[in-house]
Structure 1
Amino acid sequence: MSELVTGEAVALELRPARLPSRALAVLLDLAVAVAVYVAVTVALMVSTASLDMAAQTAISIAAFVLVLVGGPITVETLSHGRSLGKMACGLRVVRDDGGPIRFRHSLVRGLIGVIEILMTFGVVACIASLVSARGRRLGDVFAGTLVVRERVPVSTAGFVPPPPPWLAGRFSGLDLSAVPDDLWLAVRQYLTRMGQLDARVGWSMAERLAADVAVRTGAPAPEGVPPAAYLAAVLHERQAREARRAYRGAVAGGPTGFTGHSHPAGHPPPTDHPSSAGHTATGPVGPPPANPPVVPPTASSPENRPEATGGAPSDTRNGTGFVPPA
């Protein structure tokens, strides 16, 4: 992947097109252009048979320039970088900042392409594309453009495994404010790709990332917890906090400005009258009950967790891919 930075300082990840796909697209474009050029030349020869040799030569040169040079420029300008060959190969010409190209970009690419593609049979273009880190030919360098792939295969990586059930809520009191965003990104990338890594390499990476997170949080990882499971639990705790913060912000920013019940439009909320002092809409106001109702403990209560009761956690993986400690 190649990172491009737009004018608004937004980083774009694009996949540059390499020499094989670009060469196939150019061959398709040249085949179409040559077929059109041959048809136009035959039509001109029939229609200008009565002219002298100089006039026929001038018309042939004009047809060559208009069809083989002006045609690709016009097609790339009108299609915003997608010629017939590039559409067939899933490619597109874009600016260095990722934006669509304009006429001046197509003009520079087309004029230099006459030299490095037509006159040298593509040798110069191939060498320049092989030398360039992003596969650009000379026309792309002078025009400030880049050929990228539009049809990128969908990656199966991207699923972050949930933490093991026996770690749920264990890091609720951990301070995560000192962990930088790039470390969170590294943890997420590791968790999405740990199934594709070698066992020893993945274990060493998990240990290093867990140590970095422990240094930022000021609390070491619990003993006996695998580093990958620790990372998954900490990342899950961060995501849960972000979700709760976003929910509270959405509730506080509602249209009525109240976090409780809203009232119909045009009807203000009821006000208290002297005659109704000590009463509310639901009944009289009085002291709280002496014996509040007892809420039965749930499975997620701290006293019912495996580590609080002292019992050994059950091997409930539920597809997380993590094994509880022995």
Structure 2
Amino acid sequence: MALDVRVARIGSRALALLLDVLTQLLLAMALAMLVGIVLAALPMRVVDAALSNAFGTVALVAVLVGYPVLFERFNHGRTPGKMAVGLRVVSADGAPVGVRQSLTRALVGVAVEWPGLVLPLLSWVAGVTVMLTDKHGRRLGDLVAGTMVVHTRSATIWRPVPTSVPALVGWAYTLDLSRLDDGLALAARQYLARVHQLAEPARDRLARGLWAEMAAVITPPPPPGLPATVYLAAVLGERHRRARLRLARGRAVTAALWPELLPGPATPPADPASAAPSPAAAPPPAGEPSSFVRPAVPGESPAAVPAQAGPPTLRPATLPDNRR
């Protein structure tokens, strides 16, 4: 049976493996501390080298084998590394992975594919060669267990929803959209945004269903001979045009009635140094004559202080000469 899935290749799987290795190292450190605490709590006559080796072997098996088996069994085929990258282990037929398959994958990985256990260099070369040559990107453990790793996140290309259909502009201009609710319009918009991801016959069936619901609440009926997807795009484009027109009218009314509510052009703030009045030009204090002069500030240039004005000179009025 052909499966419509996106298989994981060596790049994404290597990244997931790196994250899992880091997680396993942290888990191994935690288990080592736990084993040390347990051995320290036991009586000295009970603890010997054999018991320490047994605890170490159990911890190693739990990290290398129990870690992937438990996560793949109880987390839908995803270890923490695979979950972060967006990968999942499934059976070769697409069914969920079983415990036997997860255990087989882990044992083959530890005994054959991991370096330092059995023929380290040869195991690496064989594992990479198998992954590069297999059409599904499977490693040795996948081939033995009958599994494969797939992407759970599909690669999509964003495509804008069409805002108008030139062939239906005249018809769309006469539409009565008062009964078209937001839920149906949103469903049609989501369909148009993802129509390239859908396959036939589901794509056509969904388009005809959405158009049947929309045609029941709008008038007049469209001209015949076009697909349902085109009708949906024309209706949504006209609805979007009317919404933009309403926003423009509302902004015009607001500008006419309350212009202070609209954001104006940004003006740079005035420089405080240039905006502040000069101390020399400040008005004289109350009760002082107009000839009051600001005292000089220590360290200020004498030229900055205006000269002391003398008292006002009173010119005597010319009196008539009565001595004649």
| TM-score normalised by L of structure 1 | 0.45
Question: Rg larger in 1 or in 2?
Answer: 2
TM-score by length of 2: 0.45
